[in-house]
Amino acid sequence: MTAEDFQDGKIVLIDKPLNWTSFDVVNKIRFHIRKKFNLKKIKVGHAGTLDPLATGLLILCTGKLTKQIDTIQSLYKVYEGTFYIGATTPSFDLETQVNQQFDTNHIRAELLKNAAQIFVGKTKQIPPIYSAIQKDGKRLYELARKGIETEIEAREIEIFSFEITSFDLPEISFRVACSKGTYIRSLANDFGKAINSGAYLSSLRRTEIGNYTLANAQTLDDFLASF
């Protein structure tokens, strides 16, 4: 690959590592391209954020193809992961400690599968307070970490499919296909309520964005070593 390749535009599929932000990956690749080809600047952007605690498919666009970011972001997403059943956290995932525990003696596989179907279709979802959404010029997670309560407006999303793939309490595995803007952490929290218990997201991996698949992605290290 040459400097011109990246300037003309490339779509790069990366398997984002755990504990990296999406911007960490963008910055690492941008720096590597600039250093490798002695460029003063190069446009690099990602087409859809993954939280630091999530792994999987992250699409990056370079050069002139950064104009396609909005189009790619609007594509449906597919995620696989696990919910921890019987507890909740303020962040709806492992970023924060458990704040409440619930009974799970009534939970059976049929209950879980039936509850999953409740969420299929168009619905309103309230994003988690620990998110990067801006309100009054502040990121919601900044307000949350300061203990500031704020009202969050529900957003319309669509769940195309929601399947419970394995059941081994306290964790269950799932596969979800959904629209842009869906927060799987919020889905975990809402799912816990639907089964008259609690739940939080314990692992998450994005496997598809439209026709782009994780099977065609490279690790960050492999990509950086390829040129």
Catalytic residues: 51
**Residue 65: C-alpha distances to residues 3, 69, 208, 219 (Å):** 14, 8, 20, 21
Q: What phi-psi label fits residue 103: left (phi over 0), alpha (psi between -120 and 50 degrees) or beta?
A: beta
Burial class of 88 by CB neighbour count within 10 A (0 to 12, 13 to 18, 19+): buried
Phi, psi at 135, each rounded to 5°? -140, 125
DSSP 8-state assignment for residue 128: P
Question: Which parts of 63-187 are beta strand (E)?
Answer: 77-85, 87-88, 100-101, 121-125, 134-135, 138-139, 155-168, 171-178
Q: Which among 204, 200, 205 has a CA at the least distance from the CA of 97?
A: 200
**Residue 115: C-alpha distances to residues 58, 120, 127, 168 (Å):** 29, 10, 20, 16
**Residue 203: C-alpha distances to residues 9, 30, 122, 164, 170 (Å):** 33, 28, 24, 14, 13
